[in-house]
Structure 1
């Protein structure tokens, strides 16, 4: 499976953005097994902190408190509180990459993006890297749930923040990555062999010839929409959005998939994430909910002045590109089913996302083609 895949070496890019006390933070080649229970993991975390932070290297272990913040289906997040005697408490976040995620995530691209995104005021500040993760400042905020994203006030905030995010400038190529990434996933997903015989039997029922043809057809239609290319988050699910209600601050976190991409894709993918990992697509936003979001994205300060033509353009883009989101994450699920040790039904996730693609295809293709035809006749 690893043939042709270059494994990212974090230490080749260690000299990146630094915190105010940059000279006291150093990259580390230590690694921490994310599958360990917290009591077994804690001594390793303390060793890492003392290795990376010069000011902490002689502190007693009692000065540190390590807690699990969350364990998603890709990463594990730890909160480390450090309080030397007679000093202010400092808090950092340690993000442990999931095992084998280098096969699906370009860590070099992620690090490049993180440096500039955080400099623009989004998310946590990047502090440094180690063997299988990164260290960031701590955000005192609550992670959203899929149902939170539906709340009108929060939806408006997310839309405004996303408009700001899309204006971030990242050095390098501005080529949209959607179809490059889809084809990369397709190539990897189409040659898998699972150790579990039942999984392999289920996998063999998948027609990759059909998926190939669907990608070609969908790309052709999406290209006709000429959706603008912006810098996109590409993974704006509820778990990557945090809010501090007291300070009224909203944060986008985790830029593992961030890249230049199509505006319609980033919005359409966000709408698809209303369904959550349970894939309850009855929660996909209806036209009124989408219009509410899009008004606050298009004109954050005067949402009710958005013209109907602009609403239609964004609505068509989002719903057409949401089909690409289903294919992208369906293929991702197949690869994760082979590579990830995390307890999650990734294979089932493929079928749920691909089934929703086929269920929505006719309606959304008709919507896009009608819109394109109307634009030609104007």
Structure 2
């Protein structure tokens, strides 16, 4: 698995050099399998180690509570095993001021699917552009960020016209951020890395091994190659994408009507259509009800506000069609990406979640949508003289 491992400890040690020169780092780690009462003193000790101003405070000055988590970071709606992933730590300083921060613990073995170095590199620039929380510190298996006073959206929230328009406007702005890195899109590199690892797994559980052996990896590989070849013809603009814009990574302060994008674990240079198509897939929610995938009118509403945030009604029919084609072709790539991700997680993750079943959910939806989406793209390319 060496080619896909991004070591969290090395990231913590190198963060000062490669991300922010003034970001404190700690070699400490926090065991994620501990129950919250046993985790609290370790979290407090970590905060004292990271922040000099808190080092002398008594533990009574601190409170620790669980906020939330995602499938990668230890929780989901369907998970039976609760392990804190994102925690709010509040402290009262010597002047009686309350200060809150967020401590985020990486899911066990997520270095197999997440490039933490790439994530930390991006956070600095995304934060400066107004996205997400400010990075305050890094440690052996996580990071500390400023606390965002907002609620997490639900899948149903995302499709509300007003919020959908705001997400689109914010995504337009997000895609303008320049990250000092290679501008080469990483989507297909990551998918092929996932494929290489997912195709050689062995499961200890015999039932899981039998399910795994029903997968035709030759078929999956052909699907990836075919889709890559087709999307290459679209010449989709390359942007730094969030690439995981599900409801759990969107927060809203209702009083201020301020929307936040958070968690840039899967952020990389990619294609604008992939980020949008992946977001549309997330309308299905944790239950993967793809009947909730947005219809053409809903997609056009989103695309208008993405392409021209200030004058959405002035978007041309041609520009609407181009991005509609992009999104609904790269939507298929999203299914392949997360299907292969699910296989690796099925082997590596200790989280009580049916990742193997998740592979089949995503791959079967890819197969269900494939013919219509590829035909749409090929017809467009033939009409434009590209195909």
- Give the TM-score band, short-chain normalised: over 0.9
Q: Does 1:27 align with 2:29?
A: no
Write the distance in 1 (CA, Å) between the matches of 2:20 and 2:189.
Answer: 31
Alignment of 1:120-199 (within 5 A): 120-199=129-208
Query: What is residue 318 of structure 2 aligned with on the other side?
Result: 309
Would the aligned equivalents of 1:225 and 1:317 in 2 still touch at CA under 8 Å? yes
1:306-326 Cα shifts (integer Å, max 9, x gaps) = 111111001000000000000
Query: What is residue 52 of structure 1 aligned with on the other side?
Result: 50
Alignment of 1:299-338 (within 5 A): 299-338=308-347
Residue 47 of structure 1 and its aligned partner are, at CA, apart by 0.4
Would the aligned equivalents of 1:26 and 1:52 in 2 still touch at CA under 8 Å? yes
Residue 62 of structure 1 and its aligned partner are, at CA, apart by 0.8
1:36 to 23, 34, 37: 34
Q: Does 1:244 align with 2:253?
A: yes
Write the distance in 1 (CA, Å) between the matches of 2:132 and 2:220.
Answer: 36
1:297 to 289, 302, 306: 306
1:231-263 Cα shifts (integer Å, max 9, x gaps) = 100110110010111111111011111011111
Would the aligned equivalents of 2:133 and 2:148 in 1 still touch at CA under 8 Å? yes
Gapped runs of 5+ residues in structure 2?
A: 74-84
Write the distance in 2 (CA, Å) between the matches of 1:28 and 1:255.
Answer: 21
Write the distance in 1 (CA, Å) between the matches of 2:270 and 2:145.
Answer: 25
Query: What is residue 213 of structure 2 aligned with on the other side?
Result: 204
Query: What is residue 79 of structure 2 aligned with on the other side?
Result: none
Write the distance in 2 (CA, Å) between the matches of 1:176 and 1:158.
Answer: 23
Would the aligned equivalents of 2:176 and 2:239 in 1 still touch at CA under 8 Å? yes
Write the distance in 1 (CA, Å) between the matches of 2:5 and 2:47.
Answer: 29
Write the distance in 1 (CA, Å) between the matches of 2:192 and 2:20.
Answer: 35
Instruction: Give TM-score scaled by structure 2 length.
Output: 0.94
Gapped runs of 5+ residues in structure 1?
A: none
Would the aligned equivalents of 2:4 and 2:193 in 1 still touch at CA under 8 Å? no
Would the aligned equivalents of 2:165 and 2:302 in 1 still touch at CA under 8 Å? yes
Would the aligned equivalents of 1:316 and 1:367 in 2 still touch at CA under 8 Å? yes
2:361 to 352, 369, 374: 352
Query: What is residue 15 of structure 2 aligned with on the other side?
Result: 13
1:213-234 Cα shifts (integer Å, max 9, x gaps) = 1111111111111101011001
Would the aligned equivalents of 2:114 and 2:265 in 1 still touch at CA under 8 Å? yes
2:108 to 99, 104, 122: 99
Secondary structure of the residue that 2:138 maps to in structure 1?
strand
Distance 1:6 1:343, change over 3 A: closer
Would the aligned equivalents of 2:243 and 2:274 in 1 still touch at CA under 8 Å? yes
Greater mean deviation of Cα atoms: 361-370 or 25-34: 25-34
RMSD, aligned α-carbons: 1.5
Secondary structure of the residue that 1:14 maps to in structure 2?
helix
Would the aligned equivalents of 2:239 and 2:272 in 1 still touch at CA under 8 Å? yes
Secondary structure of the residue that 2:203 maps to in structure 1?
coil
Secondary structure of the residue that 1:31 maps to in structure 2?
coil
How many residues align? The count is 373
Write the distance in 2 (CA, Å) between the matches of 1:194 and 1:369.
Answer: 39
Residue 304 of structure 1 and its aligned partner are, at CA, apart by 1.1
2:285 to 276, 285, 297: 276
Residue 18 of structure 1 and its aligned partner are, at CA, apart by 5.6
Write the distance in 2 (CA, Å) between the matches of 1:284 and 1:7.
Answer: 33
Q: Does 1:288 align with 2:297?
A: yes
Would the aligned equivalents of 2:104 and 2:143 in 1 still touch at CA under 8 Å? yes
1:190-234 Cα shifts (integer Å, max 9, x gaps) = 000111110011000000000011111111111111101011001
Write the distance in 2 (CA, Å) between the matches of 1:247 and 1:317.
Answer: 33
